[in-house]
Structure 1
Amino acid sequence: MDRNVFKQPLALHSTRPLTGYMRTGYCESPRSDAGNHSIAGIVTNEFLDFSASRGNDLRQAGLTDGCKWCLCVSRWKEAFDARSGDEDKKVPRIVLRATNERALERVRLEDLRKFAVDKDAGGS
Protein backbone atom coordinates (compact mmCIF):
# COMPACT_ATOMS: atom_id res chain seq x y z
CA MET A 1 0.00 0.00 0.00
CA ASP A 2 1.30 3.43 -0.93
CA ARG A 3 1.84 5.88 1.89
CA ASN A 4 1.95 9.67 2.02
CA VAL A 5 4.79 11.87 3.29
CA PHE A 6 3.54 11.28 6.86
CA LYS A 7 3.74 7.46 6.43
CA GLN A 8 -0.07 7.31 6.52
CA PRO A 9 -2.33 5.76 3.86
CA LEU A 10 -2.27 7.83 0.69
CA ALA A 11 -5.36 10.04 0.29
CA LEU A 12 -7.34 10.23 -2.96
CA HIS A 13 -6.23 13.26 -4.98
CA SER A 14 -8.53 13.61 -8.00
CA THR A 15 -11.00 11.68 -10.10
CA ARG A 16 -11.93 14.75 -12.21
CA PRO A 17 -9.62 14.75 -13.98
CA LEU A 18 -8.62 11.18 -13.21
CA THR A 19 -5.00 11.51 -12.21
CA GLY A 20 -2.04 9.42 -11.16
CA TYR A 21 0.49 7.33 -12.99
CA MET A 22 -1.91 4.40 -12.70
CA ARG A 23 -4.99 6.64 -13.38
CA THR A 24 -6.61 5.62 -10.11
CA GLY A 25 -7.00 9.12 -8.66
CA TYR A 26 -4.11 8.47 -6.26
CA CYS A 27 -0.52 9.64 -6.63
CA GLU A 28 0.75 6.09 -6.59
CA SER A 29 4.33 5.73 -7.75
CA PRO A 30 5.42 2.17 -8.41
CA ARG A 31 9.09 1.62 -9.26
CA SER A 32 8.02 1.35 -12.93
CA ASP A 33 7.09 5.07 -12.76
CA ALA A 34 10.44 6.52 -13.83
CA GLY A 35 8.96 10.04 -13.66
CA ASN A 36 7.99 9.59 -10.00
CA HIS A 37 4.51 11.18 -10.27
CA SER A 38 4.33 11.55 -6.48
CA ILE A 39 3.40 15.18 -5.83
CA ALA A 40 -0.31 15.89 -5.42
CA GLY A 41 -0.35 19.29 -7.06
CA ILE A 42 -2.98 21.90 -7.77
CA VAL A 43 -1.82 23.43 -11.04
CA THR A 44 -1.87 27.11 -11.88
CA ASN A 45 -1.76 28.86 -15.24
CA GLU A 46 1.77 29.96 -14.33
CA PHE A 47 2.86 26.36 -13.73
CA LEU A 48 1.17 25.19 -16.93
CA ASP A 49 3.12 27.87 -18.84
CA PHE A 50 6.34 26.89 -17.04
CA SER A 51 5.86 23.18 -17.76
CA ALA A 52 5.03 23.88 -21.43
CA SER A 53 8.20 25.99 -21.72
CA ARG A 54 10.12 22.91 -20.53
CA GLY A 55 8.55 20.68 -23.18
CA ASN A 56 5.56 19.19 -21.34
CA ASP A 57 2.33 20.98 -22.21
CA LEU A 58 -0.11 19.61 -19.64
CA ARG A 59 -2.92 21.58 -21.26
CA GLN A 60 -2.91 18.88 -23.96
CA ALA A 61 -4.07 16.49 -21.21
CA GLY A 62 -6.97 18.88 -20.58
CA LEU A 63 -5.55 20.55 -17.48
CA THR A 64 -6.57 24.09 -16.57
CA ASP A 65 -5.91 26.42 -13.65
CA GLY A 66 -7.01 24.75 -10.41
CA CYS A 67 -6.92 21.12 -11.62
CA LYS A 68 -5.51 18.55 -9.24
CA TRP A 69 -2.81 16.43 -10.87
CA CYS A 70 -0.08 14.03 -9.77
CA LEU A 71 3.08 15.82 -10.80
CA CYS A 72 6.58 14.53 -11.52
CA VAL A 73 8.80 15.34 -8.58
CA SER A 74 11.53 16.65 -10.89
CA ARG A 75 9.20 19.17 -12.61
CA TRP A 76 7.77 20.42 -9.30
CA LYS A 77 11.30 20.81 -7.93
CA GLU A 78 12.36 22.60 -11.10
CA ALA A 79 9.53 25.12 -10.59
CA PHE A 80 10.40 25.34 -6.88
CA ASP A 81 14.06 26.05 -7.66
CA ALA A 82 13.08 28.69 -10.27
CA ARG A 83 10.62 30.50 -7.99
CA SER A 84 10.97 34.19 -7.21
CA GLY A 85 9.64 33.67 -3.68
CA ASP A 86 7.26 31.53 -1.68
CA GLU A 87 4.24 33.30 -3.22
CA ASP A 88 5.33 32.51 -6.80
CA LYS A 89 2.35 30.92 -8.57
CA LYS A 90 4.62 28.92 -10.89
CA VAL A 91 5.05 26.47 -8.00
CA PRO A 92 1.86 24.45 -7.61
CA ARG A 93 0.29 24.21 -4.16
CA ILE A 94 0.24 20.64 -2.94
CA VAL A 95 -1.89 18.33 -0.81
CA LEU A 96 0.46 16.57 1.60
CA ARG A 97 -2.03 13.85 2.58
CA ALA A 98 -2.20 12.84 -1.10
CA THR A 99 1.53 13.26 -1.85
CA ASN A 100 3.36 9.95 -2.07
CA GLU A 101 6.29 9.37 0.29
CA ARG A 102 8.45 8.74 -2.80
CA ALA A 103 8.47 12.53 -3.30
CA LEU A 104 10.87 12.66 -0.36
CA GLU A 105 13.48 10.91 -2.51
CA ARG A 106 13.99 14.24 -4.32
CA VAL A 107 12.52 17.03 -2.18
CA ARG A 108 12.50 17.87 1.51
CA LEU A 109 9.29 17.80 3.53
CA GLU A 110 10.00 21.32 4.77
CA ASP A 111 10.05 22.56 1.13
CA LEU A 112 6.79 20.75 0.37
CA ARG A 113 5.20 22.28 3.48
CA LYS A 114 5.91 25.80 2.15
CA PHE A 115 3.42 25.13 -0.66
CA ALA A 116 1.01 22.81 1.14
CA VAL A 117 -2.70 23.56 1.45
CA ASP A 118 -2.85 21.13 4.38
CA LYS A 119 0.26 22.21 6.32
CA ASP A 120 -0.97 20.71 9.59
CA ALA A 121 -1.94 17.33 8.17
CA GLY A 122 -0.30 14.36 9.77
CA GLY A 123 1.14 16.29 12.67
CA SER A 124 4.62 17.73 12.69
Structure 2
Amino acid sequence: MEKLPALNVRNAALSPCSNDPVTGFFRDGHCNTCAADQGLHTVCAVMTDEFLALSKYFGNDLSTPRPEFRFPGLKAGDRWCLCAARFLQAHAEGAAPQVDLDATHLRALEIVPMEILETCAIDADPDAS
Protein backbone atom coordinates (compact mmCIF):
# COMPACT_ATOMS: atom_id res chain seq x y z
CA MET A 1 0.00 0.00 0.00
CA GLU A 2 1.65 3.14 -1.19
CA LYS A 3 0.70 6.38 0.54
CA LEU A 4 -0.48 9.20 -1.65
CA PRO A 5 1.35 12.54 -1.34
CA ALA A 6 0.81 13.94 2.16
CA LEU A 7 -0.85 17.25 1.31
CA ASN A 8 -3.60 18.96 3.26
CA VAL A 9 -6.69 20.78 1.97
CA ARG A 10 -4.63 23.98 1.87
CA ASN A 11 -2.20 22.21 -0.52
CA ALA A 12 0.59 22.34 2.06
CA ALA A 13 2.39 19.59 4.00
CA LEU A 14 -0.03 17.41 5.99
CA SER A 15 0.25 18.06 9.74
CA PRO A 16 -0.16 15.28 12.30
CA CYS A 17 -3.69 14.64 13.55
CA SER A 18 -3.11 12.54 16.69
CA ASN A 19 -0.59 10.20 18.26
CA ASP A 20 -2.66 9.77 21.44
CA PRO A 21 -4.69 7.93 20.39
CA VAL A 22 -2.75 6.98 17.27
CA THR A 23 -5.01 7.61 14.30
CA GLY A 24 -4.99 7.30 10.54
CA PHE A 25 -5.54 4.56 8.00
CA PHE A 26 -1.85 3.64 8.42
CA ARG A 27 -1.95 4.29 12.20
CA ASP A 28 0.87 6.79 11.72
CA GLY A 29 -0.82 9.75 13.42
CA HIS A 30 -1.65 11.40 10.09
CA CYS A 31 -4.78 11.30 7.89
CA ASN A 32 -2.73 9.78 5.07
CA THR A 33 -4.54 7.71 2.48
CA CYS A 34 -3.95 5.32 -0.40
CA ALA A 35 -5.93 3.46 -3.04
CA ALA A 36 -6.79 0.72 -0.51
CA ASP A 37 -8.42 3.24 1.87
CA GLN A 38 -11.98 2.78 0.65
CA GLY A 39 -13.37 4.78 3.58
CA LEU A 40 -11.14 7.75 2.76
CA HIS A 41 -10.07 8.36 6.40
CA THR A 42 -8.92 11.88 5.59
CA VAL A 43 -10.74 14.36 7.86
CA CYS A 44 -8.89 15.22 11.08
CA ALA A 45 -11.73 15.87 13.52
CA VAL A 46 -11.99 16.69 17.22
CA MET A 47 -14.48 14.27 18.74
CA THR A 48 -17.58 15.50 20.56
CA ASP A 49 -20.08 13.53 22.61
CA GLU A 50 -22.73 14.48 20.05
CA PHE A 51 -20.72 13.18 17.09
CA LEU A 52 -19.71 9.97 18.90
CA ALA A 53 -23.38 9.26 19.73
CA LEU A 54 -24.41 9.90 16.11
CA SER A 55 -21.64 7.67 14.77
CA LYS A 56 -22.71 4.88 17.12
CA TYR A 57 -26.34 5.35 16.02
CA PHE A 58 -25.21 4.96 12.39
CA GLY A 59 -23.44 1.71 13.25
CA ASN A 60 -19.85 2.83 13.80
CA ASP A 61 -19.20 2.73 17.55
CA LEU A 62 -16.04 4.75 18.08
CA SER A 63 -16.49 5.04 21.86
CA THR A 64 -16.13 1.42 22.94
CA PRO A 65 -12.57 0.12 23.38
CA ARG A 66 -11.67 -2.78 21.07
CA PRO A 67 -8.37 -4.12 22.43
CA GLU A 68 -8.29 -6.89 19.82
CA PHE A 69 -7.82 -4.12 17.22
CA ARG A 70 -5.57 -2.01 19.48
CA PHE A 71 -8.38 0.57 19.58
CA PRO A 72 -8.73 2.43 22.89
CA GLY A 73 -12.18 3.90 22.22
CA LEU A 74 -12.60 7.62 21.69
CA LYS A 75 -13.91 10.34 23.97
CA ALA A 76 -14.77 14.00 23.48
CA GLY A 77 -11.63 16.00 22.77
CA ASP A 78 -9.75 13.16 21.05
CA ARG A 79 -8.61 13.81 17.49
CA TRP A 80 -9.33 11.13 14.90
CA CYS A 81 -9.11 10.68 11.13
CA LEU A 82 -12.72 10.29 10.07
CA CYS A 83 -14.10 8.90 6.85
CA ALA A 84 -14.95 11.88 4.68
CA ALA A 85 -18.45 10.56 3.94
CA ARG A 86 -19.20 10.09 7.67
CA PHE A 87 -18.09 13.65 8.35
CA LEU A 88 -20.35 14.93 5.56
CA GLN A 89 -23.23 12.86 6.94
CA ALA A 90 -22.66 14.32 10.42
CA HIS A 91 -22.64 17.81 8.93
CA ALA A 92 -25.98 17.16 7.24
CA GLU A 93 -27.35 16.02 10.63
CA GLY A 94 -26.03 19.15 12.38
CA ALA A 95 -23.49 17.18 14.42
CA ALA A 96 -20.22 17.74 12.56
CA PRO A 97 -17.18 17.98 14.82
CA GLN A 98 -14.55 20.66 14.37
CA VAL A 99 -11.76 19.87 11.93
CA ASP A 100 -8.08 20.68 11.72
CA LEU A 101 -7.58 21.83 8.14
CA ASP A 102 -3.79 21.53 8.35
CA ALA A 103 -4.18 17.84 9.26
CA THR A 104 -7.05 17.05 6.82
CA HIS A 105 -5.83 15.32 3.67
CA LEU A 106 -6.41 16.94 0.29
CA ARG A 107 -8.43 13.91 -0.89
CA ALA A 108 -11.18 14.80 1.61
CA LEU A 109 -12.21 17.42 -0.97
CA GLU A 110 -13.35 14.60 -3.27
CA ILE A 111 -16.32 14.18 -0.91
CA VAL A 112 -16.54 17.23 1.36
CA PRO A 113 -16.66 20.74 -0.15
CA MET A 114 -13.99 23.11 1.16
CA GLU A 115 -16.71 25.56 2.25
CA ILE A 116 -18.10 22.96 4.68
CA LEU A 117 -14.65 22.13 6.05
CA GLU A 118 -13.94 25.83 6.53
CA THR A 119 -17.15 26.39 8.50
CA CYS A 120 -16.14 23.53 10.82
CA ALA A 121 -12.48 24.51 11.08
CA ILE A 122 -10.97 24.82 14.54
CA ASP A 123 -9.86 28.33 13.65
CA ALA A 124 -13.13 29.31 11.92
CA ASP A 125 -14.61 32.70 12.77
CA PRO A 126 -18.03 31.97 14.32
CA ASP A 127 -19.19 35.47 13.37
CA ALA A 128 -18.27 35.12 9.69
CA SER A 129 -21.20 35.00 7.33
Using the size of structure 2 for normalisation, the TM-score is 0.85
- Aligned ranges for residues 1-124 of structure 1 at < 5 Å? 1-60=5-64, 61=71, 62-83=73-94, 90-119=95-124
User: Given that residues 97 and 118 in structure 1 are in contact (C-alpha distance below 8 angstroms), is that contact kept between their aligned partners in structure 2?
Assistant: no
Amino acid at match of 1:7: N
User: Given that residues 96 and 119 in structure 1 are in contact (C-alpha distance below 8 angstroms), is that contact kept between their aligned partners in structure 2?
Assistant: no
**Residues of 1 paired with 2:20 and 2:10: CA distance?**
25
Aligned counterpart, 1:86: none
**Residues of 2 paired with 1:27 and 1:75: CA distance?**
14
**Residues of 2 paired with 1:26 and 1:15: CA distance?**
8
Using the size of structure 1 for normalisation, the TM-score is 0.88
- Alignment length, in residue pairs? 114
The runs of at least 4 aligned residues of structure 1 exceeding 4 Å deviation read: none
Identical-residue share of aligned pairs (%) = 39
- Pairwise CA RMSD: 1.2
- The unaligned stretches of length 5 or more in structure 1 are 84-89
Aligned counterpart, 2:68: none
Give 1:39 shift: 0.1
- The unaligned stretches of length 5 or more in structure 2 are 65-70
Q: Secondary structure of the equivalent of 1:103?
A: helix
Larger Rg: 2
